[in-house]
């Protein structure tokens, strides 16, 4: 499998408030690269989001704004690229929100949600949250809501599912963005 696992953290409930992003690159079913950055959002931080991910306004003062980050990562979002996220609706929504906010073109790419693959392949599990699936599959998750840790976990969930079930049941859940 070849894909990019993506995870955003946000400063508040606004979709354009990304404050960190991580990508984990997978080629031939092996993790081959990682990308992580803090992002300076043009919006206020909400205390609850800080409580969840631990990123404070002072942490992003010198971080790039999203358009600079997009210049570095846009290459990964091509029509034949598979972008994977755990709860992909959230992460793809943040990407869309940031691109819209800054007037940047929306890419077209393939998307796969590991919450959906987990629901399909493990229907007996009481919930399909990232930490629950990591516990079930014995995948390390040392700092949940750290974008890089979450991206690694997401990549490893999909790799585990490929190993156990093959690619056919996964292909059925891929959508176009």
DSSP 147-163: HHHHHHHHHHHHHHHHH
What residue numbers bound the domain in which 41 lies?
3-176
- Per-residue tokens: 111: 């998307």
Q: How many domains does the chain have?
A: 1
pLDDT recorded at residue 39: 98
Q: What is the pLDDT of residues 70-88, one digit of tens each?
A: 999 999 999 889 999 999 9
* Residues facing residue 18 across a β-bridge: 10
82 vs 118: CA distance, rounded Å: 17
Q: Is the pTM of this model over 0.85?
A: yes
DSSP state of 74: G
pLDDT recorded at residue 79: 87
Q: What is the pLDDT of residues 132-146, one digit of tens each?
A: 999 999 999 999 999
Q: Which residues in the chain land under pLDDT 50?
A: none
Give me the CATH number covering residue 119: 3.30.420.10
pLDDT recorded at residue 158: 98
Residues 6+ apart with CB under 8 A from 141: 130, 131, 134, 149, 150, 153
DSSP-assigned letters across all residues of 118-151:
HHHH-TTSS---HHHHHHHHT---SSTT-HHHHH
pLDDT recorded at residue 59: 98
pLDDT recorded at residue 14: 98
């Amino acid at each position: 499998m070849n894909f990019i696992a993506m995870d955003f953290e946000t400063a508040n409930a606004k979709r354009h408030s990304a404050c960190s992003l991580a990508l984990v690159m997978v080629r031939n079913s092996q993790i081959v690269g990682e990308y992580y950055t803090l992002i300076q959002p043009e919006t206020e931080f909400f205390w609850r989001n800080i409580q969840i991910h631990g990123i404070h306004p002072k942490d992003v003062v010198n971080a790039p704004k999203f358009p600079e980050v997009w210049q570095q990562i846009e290459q990964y979002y091509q029509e034949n690229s598979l972008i994977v996220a755990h709860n992909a609706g959230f992460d793809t929504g943040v990407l869309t929100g940031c691109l819209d906010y800054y007037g940047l073109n929306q890419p077209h790419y393939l998307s796969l949600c590991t919450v959906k693959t987990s629901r399909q392949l493990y229907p007996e599990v009481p919930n399909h949250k990232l930490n629950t699936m990591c516990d079930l599959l014995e995948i390390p998750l040392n700092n949940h809501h750290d974008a890089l840790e979450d991206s690694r976990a997401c990549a490893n969930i999909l790799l585990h599912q490929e190993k156990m079930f093959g690619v056919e049941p996964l292909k059925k859940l891929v959508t176009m963005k």
